[in-house]
Amino acid sequence: MFPERVNKFIGNTIMIVTFYVIRMLSSFIRLAREAFIGKQEGGQGKLKQPNGIMLILNVIIWSVGLLFLVANLRCHVTTIIARWGIGGIERTAGN
């Protein structure tokens, strides 16, 4: 539909915008968490605890973002998701 240069520019723009949206979403969740915990009694001590939940949330956010990027590169995302499921079943069965 568009010339090759325009398609490449659009693809690169989508990748850059997606990267910054993911970073912004991750930062927003972190700031909201800090504001919520900071208001609680003893919140400052809780903020210094390990951020395990933030690690899990960041992995989920980046995984969804990477799936979005792969989908925009016209790859089949369903096969990737199915492979993750099969890998999880293999890992569970292979204990």
pLDDT in tens, 31-56: 888 888 877 777 767 766 667 788 88
Q: Which domain holds residue 33?
A: 4-93
The per-residue pLDDT for range 60-80, each reduced to its tens digit, is 888 888 888 888 777 788 877
Q: Torsion angle, CA of 87/89/91/92, rounded to 10 degrees?
A: 160
Of the pLDDT bands very low, low, confident and very high (cuts 50, 70, 90), residue 82 is: confident
74: left (phi over 0), alpha (psi -120 to 50) or beta: left
Tally of domains within the chain: 1
Mapped onto helix, strand or coil, the DSSP state of residue 76 is coil
Q: Which runs of consecutive H residues, i.e. helices, occur in 40-76?
A: 43-47, 52-72
pLDDT at 36: 83
pLDDT at 50: 60
